[in-house]
Amino acid sequence: MKVLITGGAGFIGSHITDAIAAEGYETVVVDNLTTGRKAFLPSGIMFYEQNICEPGLQAVFHKEKPDIVIHQAAQGAVAKSMKQPVFDADVNAMGTIRLLELSAQYGVRKFIFASTAALYGMPKRLPVQETHPANPVSFYGLSKWTAERYIRLYAHIGLSYCILRYANVYGMRQNAEGEAGVICMFMNHLLEGKPLHIFGDGEQTRDFVFVKDVVQANLAAMRSKHNGVFNISSGTQLSLNQLIMLLEKTAGVKAEVQYQSERQGDIRHSYLHNQKALRLLKWQCQHSIMEGLAETFAYYKAQKEEMSKRKSESSAGFRMNH
C-alpha cells in the first residue's frame, strides 16, 4: 500500500512520515519546504519538492498512484492569513481542491485531512463537540472550513475521508515562530534564560495534544472504515499559568513571567470533546501532558547543547586561524 503525505517534511507531517515508513508502507512525501525541512525526512522514502498549488502535482500522482493521501500541507499561520487572505485561500482551499481532484482521478482510497479547532471560532459550549457550528474568526479557520466542505462533497462522488480537527499540537520539531508553538517558544526561552510573555492574566485555557498522539490518530483514521469529522485533542483544558508551572517542573528552573495586555479577539477558553474519535477510530491520547513535555524538553535541550557546541568549535577554529 502506498501513502502520499503532503507537508510530510513539516512539524506534524514529518512525524507522520516517520511512522508510516516505519510501518512498512511505501511512503511518498510532497512538500515545497516553505516551513518544512528535508533533514526531518527519514531515508528510503520518495520525496518530491513540489508545491501543491502547481501543475507538477499531477505528474506525482500519475507516477506514484497513491492508495491513501494524508494532507498536512498548509499555510498554518493565523496572522499571515489575516494579512494575506488570497495566499491563505490559494494554499489551504485551492490546494486541497487540487488534491481532491487528483485523488478522485487516480482512485485514491482514502483522504485524510489536517483540519483545525480554529474553525469553531468563539466556543458557545465547552468542551467543543464536532457538531458545534463552524464560525471561524480568521481567514485560516475559514479556508480550512472551506476545504472541509469540498472534501465532504467529494465524498458524495465516492471518495472516503477522515477530517481530523487538531487542537493545539506540541512536540519535537515544532517551529517556535508558528502561531501554535507556545510550548516550543516557552521552552526555548527557558533554555536561554529569557522571560516568558503572556497576553492577559494567564488564566486562559488551551487543549494541548502531543504530536505522537496526533500521529496515532492519523494511523487510526487511515485504517478505519469510517468517514467523518473527528476532534483530535487531549480533551482537557490547561491554563497558561498551569502550563508554566509544569514547564518549570520539567526544566527544573523558575521562569520569569511578564504579563502583557490581553490581545483583542483571543479566545478565552478552548478545549475539544474527543470521544467520537475514541468510539469510532478507537483512538485516544496515550501521553500525559507531563510525558509529552518531558520528551519535548529533552529534544530542545539537546538541540541547544548541539548548537552551542558547534558555536564554540567554530569560534575555536576561528581563533586558531587568526
Ligand X SMILES: NC(=O)c1ccc[n+]([C@@H]2O[C@H](COP(=O)([O-])OP(=O)(O)OC[C@H]3O[C@@H](n4cnc5c(N)ncnc54)[C@H](O)[C@@H]3O)[C@@H](O)[C@H]2O)c1
Q: Which are the catalytic amino acids?
A: 140
State yes or no: residue 51 binds ligand X (CB under 6 A): yes
Residue 74 beta carbon to ligand X: minimum distance, rounded to whole angstroms: 3
Measured from the CB atom, the residue of 71 and 110 that comes closer to ligand X is 71
Nearer to ligand X, 135 or 259 (CB): 135
* By CB under 6 A, residue 185 contacts ligand X: no
Using CB under 6 A, count the residues that bind ligand X.
Answer: 32
| Positive/negative CA dihedral, 130, 8, 67, 90 | positive
- Which range, of 49-57, 103-111, 185-193, 282-290, touches ligand X by CB under 6 A? 49-57
User: Which helix H or strand E contains 112, and what residues bound it?
Assistant: strand 110-116
Q: Smallest gap, in angstroms, from Cβ of residue 314 to ligand X?
A: 28
Contact with ligand X (CB under 6 A) among 21, 91, 229, 251: 91
9 binds ligand X (CB under 6 A): yes
16 within 8 A of 8, measured Cβ to Cβ: yes
Shortest Å, Cβ 233 to ligand X: 10
Determine, following the binding rule CB under 6 A, whether residue 36 of this chain makes contact with ligand X.
Answer: yes
Residue 170 vs 297, nearer CB to ligand X = 170
**In this chain, which stretch among 48-56, 61-69, 80-88, 254-262 interacts with ligand X, using CB under 6 A?**
48-56
User: Cβ of residue 19: shortest distance to ligand X, in angstroms?
Assistant: 14
Work out whether 114 is an interface residue with ligand X (CB under 6 A): yes
Instruction: Report if residue 13 touches ligand X, rule: CB under 6 A.
Output: yes
- The whole-angstrom separation of Cα 118 and Cα 231 is 12
DSSP state of 36: -
Residue 121 engages ligand X in binding (rule: CB under 6 A): no
Closest CA to 1 of 64, 50, 43: 64
DSSP code per residue over 197-244: EEESSS--EE-EEEHHHHHHHHHHHHH-S--EEEEES-S--EEHHHHH
Cα distance between residue 277 and residue 283, in whole Å: 6
Residue 151 contacts ligand X per CB under 6 A: no
- What DSSP state is assigned to residue 42? P
Q: The cell 475539544 sits on which residue?
A: 272
Q: How far apart are CA 104 and CA 154, in angstroms?
A: 8
For residues 57 to 86, the per-residue mask of contacts with ligand X, x marking binding by CB under 6 A and - elsewhere, is ---------------xxxxx----------
166 binds ligand X (CB under 6 A): yes
The binder of ligand X chosen from 18, 31, 88, 148 (CB under 6 A): 31
Contacts of 312 (CB under 8 A, 6+ apart): none
Nearest approach in angstroms of CB 317 to ligand X is 33
In this structure, what is the dihedral angle of CA atoms 38, 42, 48, 53, given to the nearest 10 degrees?
-70
Is 88 within 8 Å of 80 (Cβ atoms)? yes
Q: Which residues bind to ligand X, rule: CB under 6 A?
A: 6-7, 9-13, 30-36, 51-53, 72-76, 91, 95, 114, 116, 166, 168-169, 175, 178, 180
